[in-house]
Amino acid sequence: MLPCILFRNGNVLFVTKIFSCVKEIFLARPKDKLDGTDRMARFTSGQAGIVRSLVGQVAELVGGPGAASEPPAGGSEGPGETADEALDVDLAAIFGSDAPAAPPEDPVLARLFPDAYGEDPEAAGEFRRYTEQGLRSGKVAAARTVLATLPADGGRVRLSAGDAEAWLRSLNDVRLALGVLLGITEDYEHELGDLDPADPREAYLHVYDFLTFLQETLVRAMR
């Protein structure tokens, strides 16, 4: 259930302060005429710590303990290498007869891996049996790209096109997970404005809002 580090400082103002002064994150910068454009950003140590923690927790929820830190099979994934390029897909695991056919019981996992055919459980189960393991591997690989390109103590981040795509996928997974845990609806911005300061969700909602903003600036930088 994503234990998180947000309240380790015992003060909701800590999280609010980390994100309250942010105006822009990702900007597109020409790299050179041959290689195209990099997406650049600068993170404070607090921002980097929270993003890395949440991305790592989702990776381990999806891939199991150690999934966020283990190198991808077949070699280590590095900046500039896309998640798909770094991933050595285990076809035997994907097509094995013991692959899951039922939706996950965990509500966060069920949101990350929804049924493909909501009105046909048999078709949904068959589709899941052949695809879920590959989807899990892809989500873990994307998370590892974020962790490999975002320094633990913050600082400058420079993303290739492949890195940026992996960041978008991983950030979306974190937002989906937080959305389930916090019961976030489309009106969350209005809810955040009217939230009681004593509500224990306040810091998490600020983080969710920041992650949404982070995605938006990255999308703009990729255009």
Per-residue pLDDT reduced to its tens digit, 156-204 = 898 998 999 999 999 999 999 999 988 887 766 676 667 777 777 777 8
Best-predicted range by mean pLDDT among 25-39, 108-122, 164-178?
164-178
Looking at residue 27, what is its pLDDT?
62
CA atoms within 13 A on the CB side of 75: 10
Selected residue with higher pLDDT from 171 and 25: 171
Task: Please tell me the predicted confidence (pLDDT) of residue 37.
Answer: 61
The stretch 60-73 carries a mean pLDDT of 78
* pLDDT value of position 33: 41
Q: Which range, of 69-78, 190-199, 201-210, averages the lowest pLDDT?
A: 69-78
Work out the mean pLDDT of the chain and round it to a whole number: 74
pLDDT at 22 over 50: no
At residue 171, the pLDDT reads: 96
pLDDT(92) > 60: no
Q: What is the pLDDT of residue 18?
A: 46
The domain ranges of the chain are: 26-222
Q: What is the pLDDT of residue 23?
A: 45
Q: What's the rounded mean pLDDT across residues 89-98?
A: 49
pTM (predicted TM-score) = 0.74
* Across 95-107, average pLDDT: 68
CB burial string 139-152: b at 16+ within 10 A, e below: bbbbbbbbbbbbee
Dist CA 94 CA 99 (whole Å): 7
Ranges 81-85, 127-131, 148-152: which has the least confidence:
81-85
User: Does residue 4 carry a pLDDT above 70?
Assistant: no
The whole-number pLDDT of residue 42 equals 87
Looking at residue 82, its pLDDT comes to 47
Q: What is the mean pLDDT of residues 51-77?
A: 78
